[in-house]
A and B are shown apart, each in its own frame.
Chain A
Amino acid sequence: MSLSESQLEVSPTPDEPKADDQPQSLEGLSPTKLAVRRFRKDRLSMIAFYVVAFVLVAAILAPIFTKIGIIDPISLNQDDKLIDPTLGGLPRGAAGGITWAHPLGIEPGTGRDVLSRLWYGVTFSLSISLAAAIVAIVVGTVLGIIAGFSGGLIDATVGRLIDLTLSFPQTLMLLALSSIFVAAIQQRTGLSTNPANAVYEIGVLGLFGWPAVARLIRGQVLSIREREFIEAAKLLGASPRRLYFKEILPNVWAPLLVSFTLITPQYVSAEAALSYLGVGIKPPTPTLGNILTDGVNYALTDFTYFLFPAIVIAVIVVSLNLFGDGVRDALDPKADR
């Protein structure tokens, strides 16, 4: 959905009846435009949108900034002016060594810049979360469409597969499988530890995340299946693949977008929780989870180092959730009435 579409068109009729497949006339607004207008009217959602956009831009910029040398999340800085070796490497100065050069302070022990690490950590955490969300959405959508559209035995099989996946204790599986799978991934692909950890996290989060999406999409497809344009496409001899992806898929993008924005923050939290349990990407590569996990050791001695990563995680989770809620409300045609 592009939010930059013109908002200047003021239509006297706020409720244009559903006009899904009709070309847009001068006085009517497409459902998408109506949704965008509803979204723009909601102040909280707009704030959330700007925060999400800001975080995304920052995440994209982090690798570039690191390359040009504006931020430096990796190299150690054992400067006695910054950290105090007699106190086990705690930063000198107030509030975790906050100065103009290091606006969020200095990492205890290593002397690395906390802002740089958090910034790059956002990039890694978001990449993992987004990738895992994409895996969950793609698998869930494909299986959901096939199950909903075919019905019968295929539908029942997918249904049982969903039940089976949901019966596994999720957190425990994410934790337990890591002991075998990370090593197996390394052995099979020759990846080093951290890439293998990333692959594992993305794969397993996605693997346990698809059932919710599949259920949602299946429900949507069940009603779309009975519409006339599907019948028309069938009569014209459309192949199943065309039916699935050209006819049905464009009609379920709205719930997909909503679940995508609501699944991603769950995975940001999951990455942090898994880091705390010792699963996932390890330092020196920064993720929000492993920075916060390190911060736990300094909660009493360097409070800001403990607090800042938690705040970054919370801001990302809250803004993505509010954004997702806003999109859902905006897409709900009943919202204005």
Chain B
Amino acid sequence: MFAYVIRRLFVGVIMLLVMSLVTFLLFFAGPLDPARFACGKNCSEAQQAQTSKALGFDKSPVVQWSDFVKGVVTGRQFPDDPALRKAAPKLVTDCPTGCLGYSVVSTSTVNKEFKEAIPVSVSIAIFAFIMWIIGGVLFGVIAALFKGRLLDRGIVGIALVFFAFPTFFIGQLFLQFVAIKWRVFEVPDYMSIAEGGIGAWAYNLLLPAFTLALFYMAGYVRMTRAFVLESMGEDYLRTARAKGVRQSRVLFKHALRAALTPLVTMAGLDFASLLGGAIITETVFNFNGLGKLAVVAVNTYDLPTLVGLVILLATFVILANIVVDILYAVIDPRVRVG
């Protein structure tokens, strides 16, 4: 088991290295000078060259990537060019271990930007996750139990509708009608637990998280229904029923347990990718999470922030994959060997 974990982690690290290298090639090997974007639109040639040196854009993408990896492992300093650091020692920014880059646009390290944004995204993700798992599994099981009847059709139909309307449309409906026009809720504005206590934190998260949860819930209702129906058709369930096991026990002890395993995998991966920010939902409700940060970075051509975000998010996804694989290995000994 230990060997399996080590092997899986090793593969994960390699994946991360390759992924980050590809990211650097994608973003910095293009025909356009990233310094022109970083430096803004009214930027003289000299300023552009300066920016290029300060951020290390004058080096090849591969060298930039190796600098990045070094920064993650040991930390680094900005400006990137030693001569520039010497010329203006006061302007040097220290970026300690785990350094994900420096953004000229926000004149701070990328890590600092993330530090402010991560609690917002994580809060929305947790809140939405709880809603969609409870709702999705509950309605999915109900639909499966009433298969083919009106209740089943109603649930599946509503799920399909919420799946089909764009998330930003539903979010805007909530924001503009429920909050602004009808004033059922106050317009949500993120408040950390430290600022306003748990009550205010949860209250402000309700609408954004619900918007996000509806989309995922729609998918999970359909999946849960399918998995439960599939496992209810299995022979061992017929055996259990033939032996006289109570229907409720058949459902909860046998059918649900078998159906939940694949769901847990999906949920783990979906949650991990959500930690990196719900781009649409955060944009609709103007929450300054990682997703909103990405949108702002795209509009300001803030490439270091974008690269940092892509790599951070991919790390979440790769880690989640490893955790899920290890959990599988714990459950199923065959995986460890193969």
Contact = CB atoms under 8 A, between A and B. Distances in A.
Interface of A: 163-164, 166-169, 171-173, 175-181, 183-184, 187-188, 265, 269, 272-273, 276-279, 292, 296, 299-300, 306, 310, 313-315, 317-318, 321-322
A177 B37 CA distance: 13
Interface of B: 15, 18-19, 22-23, 26-27, 30-32, 34, 37, 160-161, 163-169, 172-173, 176-177, 180-181, 273, 276-277, 279-280, 283, 291, 294-295, 297-299, 301, 303, 306, 309-310, 313-314, 317-318, 321
A164 B19 contact: yes
13 contacts: A166-B317, A175-B279, A180-B30, A180-B32, A184-B31, A272-B166, A277-B280, A279-B298, A292-B169, A299-B176, A306-B172, A313-B166, A321-B164
B324 to A, nearest CB: 13
Contact of B169 (A163, A187, A310): A310
A164 B321 CA distance: 12
Interface secondary structure of A, over-half rule: helix
A173 B310 contact: yes
Contacts of B314: 167-169
B299 A300 contact: no
A321 B31 CA distance: 40
B1 to A, nearest CB: 22
B22 A317 contact: no
A276 B165 CA distance: 13
Contact of A175 (B276, B294, B321): B294
Given A167-B318, A172-B313, A187-B32, A273 B15 contact: no
A129 to B, nearest CB: 14
Given A168-B314, A171-B279, A188-B31, A176 B306 contact: yes
A76 B177 CA distance: 30
A306 B170 CA distance: 11
B310 A176 contact: yes
Given A164-B15, A179-B37, A300-B180, A169 B169 contact: no
A13 B141 CA distance: 35
A62 B297 CA distance: 37
Given A168-B310, A300-B181, A314 B165 contact: yes
